[in-house]
A and B are shown apart, each in its own frame.
Chain A
């Protein structure tokens, strides 16, 4: 089935560092989403991207929808301990069912104070 390749799998950084993670796909997506999941919780939507080339910020988070519609990245600037968690990209396939998301495999972020 369709899948998103998300990298890196995990990151261990110092507080204050910037972080970058990305997702790539062989399929074209019409929407890219980035979620954060804390241990024992459900995913929480961070940023939604709707247009190729779109660059959107939410506080210290910035995400971009790739021009080819097959990739997206998420940057976190000046990381803090509460940024710890698993970050997932997700997408809606172009022309596919509008309510079905394909999720990436996640990036585990650990931030050392």
Chain B
């Protein structure tokens, strides 16, 4: 997966807790995308960020979800007050130029809400 690092790989949270998912893009990549994959479904777009800016968040739920990609450090997807329906695999991808066709996906974080 060409160096996109996501952690943790697995995350278990109780209902009502916060989940923080981290994505370190490939070195030199300044564009990050987050996708969510529910069991036995395809990936669904959530948000596209370019260093310090949210470019497109049309796939993000309006409440409880937020994303950031600070100047220094990894991109963070934060889910507040998690519910069972948030259980899914969350994938991050990064690219150098902003073209999704040139992006590499990470291995994902599997969130389980109990």
A-side residues, CB < 8 A to B, are 4, 6, 31, 33, 40-45, 48, 88, 90, 92, 97-106
Contact = CB atoms under 8 A, between A and B. Distances in A.
B74 interface: no
A34 to B, nearest CB: 11
A85 to B, nearest CB: 14
Contact of B98 (A6, A42, A99): A99
B99 to A, nearest CB: 7
A31 B44 contact: no
Report the contact-size class of chain B (Cβ under 8 Å from the partner): 20 to 34
A4 B33 CA distance: 20
Contacts of B42: 4, 6, 88, 90, 103-106
A99 B105 contact: no
B44 A99 contact: no
A42 B100 contact: no
Nearest to B33: A99
